[in-house]
């Protein structure tokens, strides 16, 4: 089985790195390059590969839901809508579609279906937030005159998410333990695990508007966490501290423009900063100044989003969900606690199917009233999650060692809980799992490497290393197996490679 041999070669490569400690950085760079190369392979060989590179004409990307480019084009013409309603709504048994026309510059009007957009007062609006347009699509177009594609952006953001995840693991561990004592073997395996086992490959394969919103949100949240880390270690530098507080708030607010549920994270970061400021200096004026600096981006960007919503839907709180065009008719939909409970059960425990081709395959789900996608519970795809059962003990230890890291971990847990609860109401979907799994991966590795490095018992340490190696082989195998199984059929459409040949090669 070729896939198993490839995974064993990764283990062998990691083992070799232990014999050349002076070349550790070289091995780390090679490992990172391998992961990013895998991301590039998925982006350029699977699901509408013609839509990867930016081009001057984005009409051919309509099938990949390049709504952000359409909105950017409308912005440049002074409009807030994607298209104007021209034809009748067509109702089908399984889904609702709206056939609309849009005029691209001086070219002839073309017709296309715009699912998952919002229809209000005779206009189509983008349900997804405007942050990706303001941060990526519009600047890219103004500088290069080219249209940025969803696939290309998701690939770039995924690379940064991977790198920022490694950065956070490294920086937090530096404040808790002597990372120079961690074996290069374990470090290299950790890099591969973070790169292959956090569901990023699934998002890269099936890049469209949904994946753009999610990767943008996660990318911005990771920047916020990195800035928060630097804020905790640079509070003696007053000017830098205030700059960091401002940008923590700014990027956090921008993330709300990608995923509205992030608005619930703002109070947690605000009170964490206020707590640290109060603990360091009980001066009321300085505390007030820090509060105002944090609140300025919230007020400014919050006003922009509120005005954007009001001009489109006559309500500052409406992002377009109520008027979304699909089979669910959200204007009459009531979110139920039962859906959330069903979702939590499935995303944690749903057992993978076993087959004779890729061995593991995504299993069907049922019970959620909005969406039931083929998934596998992440306790099966990422069993290192179980180390989080030691979280209470871990928090006690790091609270004594470093209060800043303690607060950082609490904030990371808060993001996991908020995203887990919020997404549980909107269906059982793989892309939603990524919104909290990326931090579960980061936290689990911080804990695992911390305990491994702090353990003096050699037998226990060696046992943990052997166990982790076995778990690593299993995790990479099952995640890759699920990636290429036939139940992941959305990714097979319009592929420029032969799935049959690829599966035969790997399995």
Question: ∠ at Cα 245 (244, 248), nearest 5°?
Answer: 85
The 3-class secondary structure across 218-273, one letter per residue, is HHHHHHHHHHHHHHHHCCCCHHHHHHHHHHHHHHHHHHHCCCHHHHHHHHHHHHHH
Write the DSSP assignment of 326-356 as a string of letters: STT-GGG----HHHHHHHHHHHHHPPPEE-S
CA separation for the pair 368, 390 (Å, rounded): 31
For residue 104, what pLDDT band results from cuts at 50, 70 and 90? Answer: very low
User: pLDDT by residue (tens digit) across 367-383?
Assistant: 998 889 999 999 999 99
CB–CB of 82/67 below 8 Å? yes
Write the DSSP assignment of 172-222 as a string of letters: HHHTTS-GGGS-HHHHHHHHHHHHHSSSHHHHHHT-SHHHHHHHHHHHHHH
| Strand ranges in 7-109 using DSSP code E only, listed in sequence order | 83-84, 89-91, 96-102
**Burial of 59 (C-beta count, 10 Å sphere; 0-12/13-18/19+):** middle
CA separation for the pair 155, 65 (Å, rounded): 16
User: pLDDT by residue (tens digit) across 299-343?
Assistant: 999 999 999 999 999 999 888 888 887 777 777 778 889 999 999
pLDDT at 286: 84
What's this model's pTM, rounded to 2 decimal places? 0.93
| Residue whose structure tokens are 């006690």 | 396
User: pLDDT by residue (tens digit) across 110-156?
Assistant: 455 677 888 888 888 888 889 999 999 999 999 999 999 999 999 99
* Rg, C-alpha atoms of the chain: 24
pLDDT at 47: 77
CA 441 to chain centre: 12
Q: What is the largest CA-CA distance in the chain?
A: 73
Q: How far is CA 345 from CA 143, 169, 338, 373, 388, in A?
A: 47, 28, 11, 14, 18
* Tokens representing residue 59 in the block: 């009409």
pLDDT at 491: 57
pLDDT at 57: 77
**H or E element at residue 437:** helix 430-454
Report the half-sphere exposure of 143 (CA within 13 A, side-chain side).
8
* Sequence-separated contacts (24+) of 416-425 with Cβ below 8 Å: 416/440, 416/443, 418/261, 418/264, 418/265, 419/261, 420/344, 421/340, 422/261, 422/264, 423/261, 423/343, 424/339, 424/340, 424/343, 424/344, 424/347, 425/335, 425/336, 425/339, 425/340, 425/343, 425/370
Question: What does DSSP assign to residue 321?
Answer: G
**H or E element at residue 125:** strand 123-125
Residue 489 has pLDDT above 80, yes or no: no
Q: How many residues does the chain have?
A: 507
* Tokens representing residue 480 in the block: 């890759």
CB–CB of 382/478 below 8 Å? no
User: pLDDT by residue (tens digit) across 223-252?
Assistant: 999 999 999 988 888 889 999 999 999 999
Beta partners for residue 324, in sequence order: 118
Average pLDDT over residues 455-484: 94
pLDDT top residue among 507 and 194: 194
User: pLDDT by residue (tens digit) across 22-47?
Assistant: 899 999 999 999 999 999 999 988 87
pLDDT top residue among 168 and 358: 168
């Amino acid at each position: 089985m070729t896939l198993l041999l490839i995974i064993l070669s990764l283990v062998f490569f990691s083992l070799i790195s232990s014999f050349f400690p002076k070349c550790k950085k070289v091995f780390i760079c090679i490992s990172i390059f391998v992961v990013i190369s895998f991301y590039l392979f998925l982006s350029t060989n699977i699901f509408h590969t013609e839509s990867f590179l930016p081009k001057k004409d984005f009409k051919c990307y309509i099938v990949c839901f390049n709504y952000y480019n359409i909105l950017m084009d409308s912005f440049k013409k002074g409009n807030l809508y994607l298209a104007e309603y021209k034809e009748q709504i067509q109702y089908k048994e399984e889904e609702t579609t709206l056939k609309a026309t849009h005029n691209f510059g001086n070219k002839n009007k073309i017709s296309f279906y715009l699912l998952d957009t919002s229809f209000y007062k005779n206009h189509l609006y983008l349900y997804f937030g405007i942050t990706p347009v303001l941060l990526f699509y519009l600047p890219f177009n103004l500088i290069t005159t080219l249209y940025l594609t969803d696939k290309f952006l998701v690939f770039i953001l995924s690379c940064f998410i991977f790198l920022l995840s490694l950065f956070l693991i490294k920086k937090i561990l530096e404040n808790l333990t002597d990372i120079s004592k961690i074996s290069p073997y374990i470090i290299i395996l950790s890099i591969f695990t973070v790169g292959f086992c956090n569901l990023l490959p699934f998002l890269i394969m099936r890049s469209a508007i949904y994946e753009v919103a999610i990767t943008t949100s996660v990318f911005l949240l990771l920047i916020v966490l990195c800035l928060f880390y630097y804020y905790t270690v640079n509070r003696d530098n007053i000017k830098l501290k205030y700059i960091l507080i401002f940008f923590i708030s700014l990027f956090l607010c921008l993330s709300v423009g990608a995923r509205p549920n992030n608005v619930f994270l703002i109070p947690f970061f605000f009170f964490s900063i206020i707590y640290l400021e109060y603990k360091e200096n009980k001066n009321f004026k300085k505390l007030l100044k820090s509060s105002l600096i944090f609140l300025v981006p919230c007020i400014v960007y919050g006003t922009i989003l509120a005005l954007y919503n009001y001009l489109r839907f006559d309500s500052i709180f409406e992002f377009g969900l109520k008027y979304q065009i699909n089979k669910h008719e959200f204007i009459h939909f009531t979110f139920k606690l039962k859906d959330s409970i069903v979702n939590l059960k499935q995303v944690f425990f749903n057992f993978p199917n076993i087959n004779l081709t890729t061995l593991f395959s995504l299993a069907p789900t049922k019970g959620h009233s909005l969406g039931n996608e083929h998934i596998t519970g992440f306790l099966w795809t990422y069993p290192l999650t179980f180390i989080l059962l030691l979280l209470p003990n871990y928090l006690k230890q790091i609270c004594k060692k470093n209060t800043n890291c303690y607060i950082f971990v609490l904030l990371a847990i808060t993001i996991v809980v908020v995203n887990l609860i919020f997404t549980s109401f909107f269906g059982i979907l793989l892309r939603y799992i990524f919104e909290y799994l990326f931090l579960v991966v980061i936290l689990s590795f911080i804990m695992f490497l911390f305990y491994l490095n702090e353990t003096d018992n050699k037998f226990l340490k060696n046992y943990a290393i052997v166990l982790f190696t076995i778990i690593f082989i299993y995790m990479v195998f099952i995640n890759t197996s699920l990636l290429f199984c036939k139940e992941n059929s959305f990714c097979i459409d319009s592929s420029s490679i032969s799935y049959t040949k690829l599966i035969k090669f790997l399995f």
